[in-house]
């Protein structure tokens, strides 16, 4: 089988855009700003980019006038051609349609045929990232924790949590585009002629943050209570069906899954216990505005960071770790010192010392090396830190 072409471009790109080499058979669909995509019932005018992931790109669109409804902003998630969105569609089909729920609602879906294959397109409300609203999230931290927890799904991490933008429709397309200015596009000019030029987009464009725009331009949004929703349900698991292999990012990956990935190169499914670990990492990031494990990847270094934070090394890890790692002092005392170092800055800011200590105690019950020692979701919700809410 021939190796896929690796493109060398005249102008490099940064981390805000997708990998140009994913524009190939089975990969991303090339988009031009201004494209119009059509389902059986709606037409969508693509006006900017909202984000990208391993399995999709996400675009801001405006529905075109029709007799049934007024134009509105929507997000179009265009899956890669070799994705398997059936699981995500199945999860959506099992969810009740209800106002005020905290799971993103699917409005429309259709297929898009392009030069790289056939792509499923999912149409949702536009959500913002809570990471773009650190000051607003911090003032409503407890509420967000409970809402996120109530909708716990497999492989939960900060990228799966969105903030609703209820006042977005009060802003015109012109105002939004004028605020962000001309897109900072990177023209796609390969150094070698591509075998299929039609597979590539004419340019790559970084995403915009509508949450940041509303924070700056809309006092009513800033003053309203944040409503969060779980999104990107492709890795969610229906309780009565066999689980899928985990796609958990390294930054929130439970140690039992990390160990298998590092030592056996296998990818075990997420479990309710591994969800608890991932949720603790997510709560940490919400509260402290930083990841619990920096520059995390599936390697021995992350295993060592986990052991230091938990104060123990699982017996199964010992044959696989280097002597230098084993000579480092790892104990309950070193874990206590590490947690004190992490929690102390909070007591000098917005969180009282007793609340910071209680929150740290909650996280430490959830971040256990032994999966069976972690509390259930119900037990976590009964923790004093949650009950005080």
**8 A C-beta contact, residue 289 and residue 282:** no
Provide the residue count of the chain: 389
Strand pairing of 127-129 and 161-164?
Answer: antiparallel
Measured at the CA of 293, the angle between CA 289 and CA 294, to 5 degrees, comes to 80
387 assigned to a ligand binding site: no
Distance CA 142, CA 81 (A): 39
Token pair, residue 203, equals 């340019």
Distance CA 190, CA 203 (A): 11
- Rounded to a whole number of angstroms, the CA Rg of the chain reads 22
Return the SS3 of 284: helix
Sheet strands (E) in the chain: 36-38, 43-52, 56-63, 73-79, 106-114, 117-124, 127-129, 161-164, 186-187, 203-204, 228-230
Q: Taking the CB of residue 67, how many other CB atoms lie within 10 A of it?
A: 4
Taking CA atoms, 118 is separated from 46, 98, 113, 171, in Å, by: 18, 31, 4, 34
Measured over the CA atoms of residue 40, residue 45, residue 50 and residue 56, the dihedral's sign is: positive
Binding residues for ATP, as ranges, are: 77
- Annotated binding residues, written as ranges, equal 77
């Amino acid at each position: 089988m021939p190796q896929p072409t690796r493109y060398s471009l005249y102008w490099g790109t940064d981390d805000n855009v997708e990998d140009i080499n994913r524009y190939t058979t089975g990969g991303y669909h090339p988009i031009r700003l201004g494209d119009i995509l059509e389902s059986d019932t709606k037409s969508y005018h693509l006006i900017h980019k909202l984000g990208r992931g391993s399995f999709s790109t996400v675009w801001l669109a405006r529905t075109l006038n029709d007799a049934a409804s007024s134009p509105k902003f929507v997000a179009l998630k265009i899956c890669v051609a070799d994705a398997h969105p059936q699981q995500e569609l199945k999860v959506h089909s099992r969810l009740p349609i209800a106002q005020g729920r905290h799971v993103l609602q699917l409005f429309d879906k259709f297929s898009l045929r392009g030069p790289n294959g056939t792509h499923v397109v999912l149409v949702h409300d536009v959500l913002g990232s809570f990471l773009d609203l650190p000051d607003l999230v911090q003032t409503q931290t407890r509420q967000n924790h409970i809402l996120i927890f109530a909708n716990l799904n497999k492989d939960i991490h900060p990228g799966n949590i969105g903030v609703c933008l209820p006042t977005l429709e009060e802003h015109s397309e012109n105002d939004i585009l004028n605020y962000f200015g001309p897109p900072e596009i990177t023209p796609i000019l390969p150094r070698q002629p591509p075998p299929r030029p039609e597979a590539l987009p004419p340019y790559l464009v970084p995403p915009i943050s509508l949450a940041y725009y509303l924070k700056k331009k809309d006092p009513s949004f800033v003053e309203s209570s944040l409503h969060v929703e779980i999104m990107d349900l492709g890795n969610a698991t229906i309780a009565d069906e066999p689980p899928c292999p985990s796609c958990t990012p390294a930054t929130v990956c439970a140690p039992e899954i990390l160990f298998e990935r590092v030592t056996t190169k296998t990818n075990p499914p997420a479990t309710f216990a591994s969800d608890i670990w991932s949720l603790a990492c997510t709560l940490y990031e919400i509260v402290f505005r930083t990841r619990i494990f920096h520059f995390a990847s599936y390697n021995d270094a992350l295993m060592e960071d986990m052991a230091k934070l938990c104060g123990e090394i699982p017996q199964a890890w010992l044959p696989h770790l280097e002597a230098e790692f084993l000579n480092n002092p790892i104990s309950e005392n070193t874990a206590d010192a590490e947690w004190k170092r992490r929690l102390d800055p909070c007591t000098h800011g917005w969180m009282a010392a007793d609340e910071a200590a209680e929150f740290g105690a909650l996280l430490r019950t959830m971040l256990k090396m032994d999966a069976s020692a972690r509390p259930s979701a119900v037990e976590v919700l009964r923790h004093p830190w949650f009950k005080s809410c």
